[in-house]
Amino acid sequence: MIIHHATVITFDQNNRIIENGAVHYADGIIDMVGDSASVLAAYPEDERWDAGGLILMPGQICAHTHFYGAFARGLYIPGPPPKDFPEILQVLWWRLDKALDLEGVRSSAEVCLVDAIRNGTTTLIDHHASQRAIDGSLDAIAEAVQRSGLRAVLCYEVTDRDGPDAAQAGIRENVRFRRWVEANHATHQGRLAATFGLHASLTLSDETLERCVGESNRFHIHVAEHPADEYDSLHKSGQRVVERLHAFGITGPESIMAHCVHIDAWEMALLAETHTFVSHQPRSNMNNAVGAAEITPMLRKGMAVCLGNDGFSNDMFAEMKVADLLQKVAHGDPRYLGADKVIQMAVFNNRRLAVAFFERPVGVIETGAYADLILLDYHPTTPLTPDNLPWHILFGISGTHVHSTIVQGRTLMRDRQLLTLDEAEIAARSRRHAQATWERYWAMFA
Ligand SMILES: [Zn+2]
């Protein structure tokens, strides 16, 4: 396939914008990028897609999300409103996840996958919990991901909050799913990957952490999202959260630590030294009123701070805007962060993270990368150059501009028509499963 007559934003090493550009891909892999005339001349027999001057760029990557949170939309929470993040966990998330059955897990994943295709997010790193439907939960999600055609990294969040049997089941689910991914490459064609999920230091005992590190050398865990996590760790171990996790071997160049809002300078140094990925979710942090992570010093240390959405909409363009605004308001200084640093996180650092899980690069238009591409119906009203591109993305582009979405060469949405998923059917099923899940959730307050 040749997509031609496009403004190609490569995000490659040379950060090119190719006017009237084209990309050729075959078997899911990009094999030529250049001006339309040369690419068309090189492949005269190939199928052609005239982009009509739209922008062609790499699909977005989300470094941390929760498909299981989809049914929280519009949910009535009985009793007084939770006053802080620990109460939000107790009253909302730890009950909602227990209210999910396997069909609900599958349905809430489908809702998020539709949203991701629509908003051009082609790689998603999910962190799953459904404490009364653990066995097989990652299969239910994986099946939905495969049908969607998207790319995803899945894991189950191991926790002691519901007792030792549920903790053991969480470990089992991670291990079993990883083996399935390894053994079934032909089925998922390298679009699925597994990591090992841990909830957070504050719900994990030393014994459980010990068992987990025996099973994996890469992890996906929430870290210091609220000061409660730090105080719990100091109480349990005399160490701060990152030190405690590091002592178990949970830090490392393929591990993701989500949030890190309340880490101190020493914890930051440990994360930098171990090349651990940090994922930042500003919309979630603002919604939970947990504070603003110290992004600037982490980036200055060369740390790979990535961008996730924590279950908010899969419009990563929206997350990027908020990332910039939060730092400015938190520091009372409009010079903080800036669009270039946001792109560093959302594009370049997220891509570094994705490389840990997939065989070929994603998040870049270059020869040899997977053809994970989006077309945007965005017509710049001021000059667009490689230098000012980040500001166009922050102040001009949103998920609603996404016109077509392609993953590994397969078109999942063309001209805003979904080709792999039936949105109306998924929404109808989701309303039914959400109602049933809500009733089980409300029953926990009786
Ligand atoms: Zn999260």
**What's the gap in Å between 283 CA and the centre of ligand 1?**
11
Ligand 1 centre distance from Cα of residue 222 (Å): 6
pLDDT of residue 136: 98
Ion ligand 1: residues, CB within 5 A, are: 310
Q: What is the pLDDT of residues 292-328, one digit of tens each?
A: 999 999 999 999 999 999 999 999 999 999 999 999 9
Residue 103, pLDDT above cutoff 90: yes
Dump strand ranges (E) for 99-195.
Answer: 121-126, 151-154, 157-158, 192-194
* Kind and range of the H or E run holding 418: strand 417-418
CA of 66 to the centre of ligand 1 (A): 6
Sheet holding 305-307: strands in order across? 157-158, 196-200, 219-223, 256-259, 277-280, 305-307
The contacts of residue 334 (CB under 8 Å, 6+ apart) are 328
C-alpha 286 – ligand 1 centre gap (Å): 13
Question: What's the pTM value of the predicted model, to 2 decimals?
Answer: 0.98
Residue 64 Cα to ligand 1 midpoint, Å, equals 6
Q: How far is the CA of 171 from the centre of ligand 1 (A)?
A: 18
Confidence of residue 13 (pLDDT cuts 50, 70, 90): confident
Picking from 315, 389, 406, the residue whose alpha carbon sits closest to that of residue 58 is 406
Give 259-291 pLDDT, tens digit per residue: 999 999 999 999 999 999 999 999 999 999 999
